[in-house]
Amino acid sequence: MHRTGARGATAVGTSVEDARPYWCDVASVRGQLMYLPAHFAADDGTLEGLLDGAVTGDLVTVTPSGPTATFLPVAYDAEAGARGALLGHLARANDQWRAPVLGEALMILHGPDAYVSPSWYASKPEYGKVVPTWNYLVAHVYGRLVVHDDTVWLESLVRRLTTRHEQGRDLPWSVDDAPSSFVAAQLRAIVGVELVIDRVEAKAKWSQNRSEQDIAGVTEGLEAAGRDDAAAAMRSANRA
């Protein structure tokens, strides 16, 4: 493990040198792991939007004791490394950051998702051979995990996350609203993690395998259910 910071940081993983964007032709780089039919492959714009808008993710690592995962707040830094990085933090008491990582680390990012009722399909009355499904946007982000046991790095990240989530509120909270001694103690209770991106596999499953009439029915059904986010994703994925 490679360590940086006041107490050290851990970096584990490998990198792939490739001049192409990291989301392009991943199968030829290392072998695609995600089940990803070609018609559900996320385009560059969709993936960039998911990365830029990511607020949480599931950090998954395989350790000598077995696989482990943590849900954590994240921020995407496009300027970190050759392909960007996902930054986050977890509790110091969480042993995941201490355990050696076997191979690559994985961060799972989730976009909108929605249940699809067969009743929304225009084809249902014609032959009835339809079943429920689930539509969704997800990215599997692979790379080298760096652990930042460094309060300066952590404070910078916490301020970044706080500003992002407090902006626009009537009474936005600031890190400076809390006593400095209290903030220092809270920072000592967490550890930073940085997933230096090596490659991304992303799926945008929005009924692209259905007819135009079925796609329209699903979009209308999602809107009627109050799922404007999923309906917008349907339109974006299926625009001519």
pLDDT in tens, 159-178: 999 999 999 999 999 999 99
pLDDT tens digit sequence for 177-205:
999 999 999 999 999 999 999 999 999 99
pLDDT tens digit sequence for 65-118:
999 999 999 999 999 988 999 999 999 999 999 999 999 999 999 999 999 999
Confidence tier at 26 by pLDDT (50, 70, 90): very low
pLDDT of 15 over the 70 cut = no
Q: CATH for 11-116+126-165+174-208?
A: 2.30.110.10
3-class secondary structure per residue, the chain: CECCCCCECCEECCCCCCCCCCCCCHHHHCCCCCCCCHHHECCHHHHHHHHHHCCEEEEEEEECCEEEEEEEEEEEECCCCCCCEEEEEEECCCHHHCCCCCCCEEEEEEEEEEEECHHHCCCHHHHCCCCCEEEEEEEEEEEEEEEEECHHHHHHHHHHHHHHHHCCCCCCCCHHHCCHHHHHHHHHCEEEEEEEEEEEEEEEECCCCCCHHHHHHHHHHHHHCCCHHHHHHHHHHHCC
Sign of CA dihedral 164, 166, 169, 172: negative
Domain ranges of the chain: 11-116+126-165+174-208
pLDDT tens digit sequence for 139-166:
999 999 999 999 999 999 999 999 999 9
**Entry pTM:** 0.87
Confidence tier at 11 by pLDDT (50, 70, 90): low
Is 26:34 a contact under the CB 8 Å cutoff? no
The helix-helix angle for 151-166 and 180-188 (nearest 10°) equals 110
